[in-house]
Amino acid sequence: MIPGYRLSLGITIAWVSLLVLLPLAALAARPWEHGAGWLWHSLTQERALAALRLSFGTAFLAASLCTVAGLLLAWTIARVRPAGWRLLDAIIDLPFALPTAVAGITLATLYGRHGWVGAPLAGAGIKVAYTQAGIMIALVFVGLPFVVRSTLPVLNDLPHELEEAAQTLGARPGQIALRVLLPAILPALVTGFGLAFARGVGEYGSVIFIAGNRPLVSEIAPLLIVIRLQQFDYAGAAAIGLVMLLGAALILVALSLVRALLPAMAGARQPL
């Protein structure tokens, strides 16, 4: 046995228990204090259902857009290397460093009725700020770096010889992309999608400034949690938080299973 193994294991278990397991247990137990009937009634209220649908729906759509856009950005940086690609690579990490409230105010100003982008769109009859479209933009902004950072290292490590060999064997560009490149980067894309989705479900600061926060229309679940806390409805807030936690966990577990099955699926593919 490695010296200090039991001590380090005990410290790790205690640390994880205090910071992760106990808070999660408290969150799971609090909504049941009034009984299962009350919990069901709290979660099936029209306002709660609308907020949960909006949060999960926009998070899924935004993560899907982030996956496509993140793949294109990662491909551009790894393979095309245009002028100024190092600056582009640094800018991608900006949402990680930028406070979410600052990001929300910036997006609301940019896409507002008098903003640089919002004004031309408003002239064309398109309203972005204070709508569900604004929520999508905010979630794409904060979720895109997860996909790029998950995919870029894989593309950088992928040998160019694989593409050249496939091209020599007569494979068309579409075949190379689908049967050589995609199987190699698909696990990274799935990881990036899962991280972007999990971030989007719980995103608060960057969304509330551009969402409009109208009940049943553009009110996200994290905001409804804050509202219930302000009303001293701690059990109701915990109930929504528990649903968000379980929903995000189920999606992440499903994506982990898919990621584990991808190597076997890739091995079963027919050769070029």
Q: Kindly report the backbone phi and psi dihedral angles of residue 117, in degrees, each rounded to the nearest multiple of 5, phi listed first.
A: -95, -40
Listed by start position, the domains of the chain span 1-34, 36-267
User: Is 50 in a helix, a strand, or coil?
Assistant: helix
Q: Please identify which residue in the block is written with the tokens 């904060």.
A: 142
Residue 270's nearest CA partner among 167, 161, 162, 179 is: 179
Cα separation values, 112 from 64, 94, 107, Å = 25, 21, 8
What is the share, in percent, of the chain residues with pLDDT greater than 70?
A: 95
Residue 107 has what pLDDT?
Answer: 92
Q: Please identify which residue in the block is written with the tokens 């499903």.
A: 254
List Cβ neighbours of 64 (8 Å cut-off, separation of 6 or more): 193
* Prediction pTM value: 0.86
pLDDT in tens, 148-197: 999 999 988 888 777 778 878 787 877 777 777 888 888 899 999 999 99
CA distance 71 to 107: 23
Residue 269 has what pLDDT?
Answer: 52
Mark the ranges of the chain whose per-residue pLDDT is less than 70. Answer: 1-3, 263-272
Residue 267 has what pLDDT?
Answer: 55
Query: Quick check: 132 and 218 in contact, CB under 8 A?
Result: yes
Residue 272 has what pLDDT?
Answer: 47
Residue 231 has what pLDDT?
Answer: 92
- Domain 36-267 sits in CATH at 1.10.3720.10
Helix (H) or strand (E) holding 105: helix 100-111
